[in-house]
């Protein structure tokens, strides 16, 4: 741009004005002109500044050479047609600053649009803002010009950043309004293994966020997280549907490529052979130390698996940088065929000083020391956070086959003599109802009488699968005495926001004192702090009416985590499901049960929380359904609700005796009916085949007993009708 010549000729001041005008016009034109194509990598290296708050060692211009493994991830993020990227990450790779922040910065400055980042909880969102995002904006001029961090008048806050052409929202996975409120072109999920699997009954938070992007063309979903337990990890599940790229590094000795991985690290003295152990000089050659034993972490080194050549740490870093500089994949090689790129990261891909081989070896030996003493916590962390791998919790649960072998020889809808009080729990899915009937006896011993599903819609009340359930609820369980015992209590899961209206309507229609039908909902407790059964809180008339109270229905809170502790446990010795034989707490199932019962009963694992490994919490396994477990948990809760666990032995004896007595009456009734229906015919009832296990004095059973006032009434033998 040249200013008019006449103006420049007038005064020296005019020359200055000329330059200023020039600069201004250039700026205006730059804003109006279509942007030159710029990749995320180019943007990061041209515009991004790393603040000392983010990384004191590398403050200044952002250099991808300091995080070479991330180059391939950023290249994929900017690639035409890529809609979803998954990264199974380890610690110390600079992923958050290098991938998440660069993507956010690029789409705030270069291609402005709406972006959402989902964190497990609100606190992690705030930490991200304070430690990563705001420091980036302050240090990077092109972002500081556009995002006014302190300006409330711009509508900015800790979790909301506006800029010309768009905004960034930080949301928490446990807040449904957050997750569902924004349609966003760029959707980022941080640490999916720690996010909410069920956002207040509205479903998986990642799936909800995905819905937000369906309408946006050319969007990108970026999911990055550390792996946790095999079989229960969200990042594992997401990785399955990607092309599973491995970072292959060429050896400077032989030129062959391999994935730089912990298994190629050698720690001298860690595994001495027989000859070395027998050496009389062993204490001089391999002195023993606390924690590390004879192993020498300070001498640990890396070995090429192809040629056996040793890599120093400097050589490892140089090899990584070289392989990471080769387009188009920058060292990453797909190992599966799928449209979406996925990346397996581990800490040996890091070139930071804190990830040098001896440092990692020291960490490993400390973890090994605790592991040898029976504490796996540090080794789990090493596996997840350093190796970027899933931890397999072996022996925490029995195998499905083990349960299958213990199946007993009785038919569906029939139970042995000790099983006396049938209860039913219903898990509500959108296209079906899943139902378990368990029959309880002394000491909470329990027998499965039915496991199955009723297909049909469940969102509309009094229709679809609900009609099937009405029928199923009327079914009876045939006791060994031959008496058909009706279901004594029914529970229905009302935790799903979309089906809860239909559940309340059903409960309202069918609940009565003689046979309660109750709405249940799992407590928001994955650890086991909430008791299985808690006294229902009285409804507060001053509180705004809830959906349930408008139906006149009380929602019962179920301590599902504690129930799973009781039923499944998590240590070798824990959990009723492991108990063999008969007696208190034993669980029994029948041979013909639908085959998926076993895997579903073992549908959750109690594993250390990613944010606090000292605390174990229940998580769903991602490779199976778990409705049979939910229904079994619900039945245990119903047993507590009926206070079956508090019943005295003589009360159980009376119930059993009454069943036997009822079987006699049944035969009388049946005979009478037969007499009535067959004109003039006569028949005489035969003596019962089954006798009570222990003879009971007849006067001990008054004509009408209420065994648990207001709860179960077994007082009327008329309710033990013949089987339907």
Q: Give the footprint of Zn ion on this chain (CB under 5 A).
A: 251, 253-254, 304, 306-307, 309
As measured in angstroms, the least distance from the Cβ of 267 to Zn ion is 20
Instruction: Give the whole-angstrom CA distance, residue 618 versus residue 605.
Output: 5
Helix (H, G, I), strand (E, B) or coil at 468: helix
Q: Which is nearer to Zn ion, 309 or 514 (CB)?
A: 309
- The first and second tokens of residue 6, run together, are 């006449």
What are the helix (H) ranges across 140-296? 141-144, 176-181, 205-213, 234-240, 274-278, 282-285
As measured in angstroms, the least distance from the Cβ of 65 to Zn ion is 23
Q: Which is nearer to Zn ion, 255 or 287 (CB)?
A: 255
Helix (H, G, I), strand (E, B) or coil at 287: coil
Instruction: Give the whole-angstrom CA distance, residue 97 versus residue 67.
Output: 10
Parallel/antiparallel/unpaired status of strands 332-334 and 310-311:
unpaired
As measured in angstroms, the least distance from the Cβ of 124 to Zn ion is 41
Phi, psi of 319 (to 5 degrees): -60, -45
Parallel/antiparallel/unpaired status of strands 517-522 and 587-588:
unpaired
Q: Which is nearer to Zn ion, 268 or 309 (CB)?
A: 309
Q: Which is nearer to Zn ion, 305 or 583 (CB)?
A: 305
Parallel/antiparallel/unpaired status of strands 49-50 and 84-88:
unpaired
Q: How many residues does the chain have?
A: 724
Q: Which is nearer to Zn ion, 295 or 304 (CB)?
A: 304
Instruction: Give the whole-angstrom CA distance, residue 350 versus residue 348.
Output: 5
Instruction: Give the whole-angstrom CA distance, residue 268 versus residue 270.
Output: 6
Instruction: Give the whole-angstrom CA distance, residue 133 versus residue 126.
Output: 10
Q: Which is nearer to Zn ion, 251 or 657 (CB)?
A: 251
Beta bridge partners of 607: 617
Q: Which is nearer to Zn ion, 10 or 307 (CB)?
A: 307
As measured in angstroms, the least distance from the Cβ of 247 to Zn ion is 16
Q: Closest Cα to residue 195, out of 157, 233, 241, 230?
A: 233
As measured in angstroms, the least distance from the Cβ of 365 to Zn ion is 26
Q: Which is nearer to Zn ion, 243 or 259 (CB)?
A: 259
As measured in angstroms, the least distance from the Cβ of 271 to Zn ion is 22
As measured in angstroms, the least distance from the Cβ of 209 to Zn ion is 43
As measured in angstroms, the least distance from the Cβ of 302 to Zn ion is 11
Enclosing H/E stretch for 452: strand 446-455
Q: Closest Cα to residue 101, out of 157, 51, 150, 148?
A: 51
Q: Which is nearer to Zn ion, 308 or 699 (CB)?
A: 308
- The first and second tokens of residue 203, run together, are 């479903």
Q: Which is nearer to Zn ion, 304 or 436 (CB)?
A: 304
As measured in angstroms, the least distance from the Cβ of 256 to Zn ion is 5
Q: Which is nearer to Zn ion, 251 or 659 (CB)?
A: 251
Instruction: Give the whole-angstrom CA distance, residue 507 versus residue 677.
Output: 37
Strand intervals (E) in 112-259: 114-119, 160-163, 166-172, 186-190, 220-225, 245-250, 257-259
**What is the secondary structure of 25-84 as a DSSP string?**
HHHHHHHHSPPPP--HHHHHHHH-EE-TTT-TTS-EE--GGGSTTHHHHHHHHTSTT--E
Phi, psi of 73 (to 5 degrees): -70, -45
- CA angle, 396 then 398 then 403, to 5°: 160
Q: Which is nearer to Zn ion, 26 or 310 (CB)?
A: 310
Q: Which is nearer to Zn ion, 304 or 662 (CB)?
A: 304
Instruction: Give the whole-angstrom CA distance, residue 286 versus residue 267.
Output: 12
As measured in angstroms, the least distance from the Cβ of 199 to Zn ion is 49
Give residue for tokens 């499944």: 568
- The first and second tokens of residue 5, run together, are 């010549």
Q: Which is nearer to Zn ion, 144 or 333 (CB)?
A: 333
As measured in angstroms, the least distance from the Cβ of 263 to Zn ion is 15
As measured in angstroms, the least distance from the Cβ of 306 to Zn ion is 4
As measured in angstroms, the least distance from the Cβ of 253 to Zn ion is 4
Query: How far are the Cα atoms of 39, 136, 147, 500 from residue 142, in angstroms, in the given order?
Result: 16, 10, 9, 49
Contact of 170 with 98, CB cutoff 8 Å: no
Q: Which is nearer to Zn ion, 304 or 421 (CB)?
A: 304
As measured in angstroms, the least distance from the Cβ of 314 to Zn ion is 16
Number of H helices, E strands in the chain: 25, 26
- CA angle, 357 then 358 then 364, to 5°: 90
As measured in angstroms, the least distance from the Cβ of 529 to Zn ion is 53
Q: Which is nearer to Zn ion, 119 or 247 (CB)?
A: 247
As measured in angstroms, the least distance from the Cβ of 180 to Zn ion is 52
DSSP state of 577: G
Instruction: Give the whole-angstrom CA distance, residue 63 versus residue 48.
Output: 9
């Amino acid at each position: 741009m040249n200013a008019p010549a006449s103006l420049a000729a007038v005064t020296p001041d005019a020359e200055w004005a000329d330059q200023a005008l020039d600069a201004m016009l250039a700026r205006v034109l730059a804003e109006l002109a279509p942007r030159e194509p710029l990749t995320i990598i180019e943007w990061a290296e041209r515009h991004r500044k790393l603040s000392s708050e983010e990384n004191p060692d590398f403050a200044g211009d952002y250099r991808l050479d300091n995080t070479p493994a991330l180059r391939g991830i950023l290249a994929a993020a900017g690639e035409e047609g890529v809609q979803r990227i998954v990264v199974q990450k380890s610690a110390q790779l600079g992923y958050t600053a290098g991938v998440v922040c660069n993507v956010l910065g690029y789409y705030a400055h270069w291609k402005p649009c709406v972006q959402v980042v989902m964190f497990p909880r609100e606190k992690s969102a705030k930490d991200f803002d304070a430690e990563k995002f705001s420091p980036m904006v302050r240090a990077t001029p092109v972002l500081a010009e556009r995002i006014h961090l302190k300006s409330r008048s711009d509508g900015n806050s800790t979790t909301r950043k506006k800029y010309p052409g768009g905004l960034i929202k930080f949301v928490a996975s446990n807040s449904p309004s957050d997750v569902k409120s924004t349609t966003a072109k760029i959707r980022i999920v941080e640490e999916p293994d720690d996010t909410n699997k069920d956002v207040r009954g509205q479903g998986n938070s990642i799936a909800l966020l995905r819905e937000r992007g369906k309408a946006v063309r050319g969007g990108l979903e970026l999911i990055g997280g550390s792996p946790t337990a095999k079989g229960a990890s969200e990042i594992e599940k997401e990785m399955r549907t990607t092309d599973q790229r491995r970072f292959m590094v060429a050896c400077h000795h032989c030129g062959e490529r391999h994935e730089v991985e912990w298994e190629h690290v050698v720690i001298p003295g860690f595994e001495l052979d027989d000859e070395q152990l027998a050496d009389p000089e062993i204490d001089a050659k391999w002195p023993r130390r606390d924690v590390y034993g004879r192993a020498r972490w300070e001498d640990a080194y890396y070995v090429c698996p192809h040629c056996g050549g040793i890599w120093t740490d400097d050589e490892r870093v140089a090899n990584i940088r070289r392989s990471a500089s080769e387009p188009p994949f920058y060292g990453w090689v797909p190992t599966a065929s799928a449209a979406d790129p996925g990346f397996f990261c581990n800490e040996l891909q890091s070139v930071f000083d804190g990830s040098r081989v001896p440092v990692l070896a020291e960490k490993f030996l400390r973890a090994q020391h605790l592991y040898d003493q029976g504490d796996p916590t540090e080794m789990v962390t090493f596996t997840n956070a350093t190796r970027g791998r899933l931890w397999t919790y072996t022996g925490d649960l029995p195998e499905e086959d083990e349960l299958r072998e213990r199946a007993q020889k009785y038919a569906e809808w029939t139970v042995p003599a000790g099983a006396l009080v049938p209860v039913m729990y219903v898990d509500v899915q959108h296209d079906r109802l899943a139902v378990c009937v368990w029959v309880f006896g002394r000491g909470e011993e329990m027998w499965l009488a039915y496991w199955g599903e009723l297909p049909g819609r469940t969102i509309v009340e009094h229709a679809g699968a609900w009609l099937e359930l009405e029928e199923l609820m009327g079914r009876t369980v045939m006791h060994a005495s031959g008496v058909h015992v009706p279901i004594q209590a029914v529970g229905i899961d009302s935790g799903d926001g979309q089906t809860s209206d239909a559940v309340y309507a059903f409960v309202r229609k069918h609940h009565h004192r003689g046979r309660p039908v109750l709405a249940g909902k799992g407590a928001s407790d994955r650890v086991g702090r909430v008791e299985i059964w808690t006294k229902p809180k009285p409804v507060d008339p001053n509180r705004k009416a809830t959906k349930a109270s408008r139906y006149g229905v009380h929602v019962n809170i179920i301590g599902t985590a504690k129930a799973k502790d009781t039923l499944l446990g998590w240590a070798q010795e824990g959990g009723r499901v492991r108990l063999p034989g008969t007696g208190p707490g034993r669980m029994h199932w029948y041979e013909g049960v639908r085959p998926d019962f076993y895997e579903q009963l073992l549908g959750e694992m109690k594993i250390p929380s990613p944010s606090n490994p000292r605390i174990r919490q229940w998580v769903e396994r991602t490779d199976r359904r778990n409705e049979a477990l939910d229904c079994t948990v619900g039945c245990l809760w119903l047993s507590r609700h009926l206070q079956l666990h508090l019943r005295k032995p003589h009360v159980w004896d009376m119930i059993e005796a009454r069943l036997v007595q009822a079987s006699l009456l049944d035969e009388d009734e049946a005979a009478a009916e037969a007499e009535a229906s067959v004109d003039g015919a006569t028949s005489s009832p035969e003596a019962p085949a089954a006798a009570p296990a222990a003879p009971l004095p007849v006067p001990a059973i008054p004509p009408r007993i209420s065994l648990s006032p207001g709860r179960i009434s077994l007082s009327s033998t008329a309710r033990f009708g013949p089987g339907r």
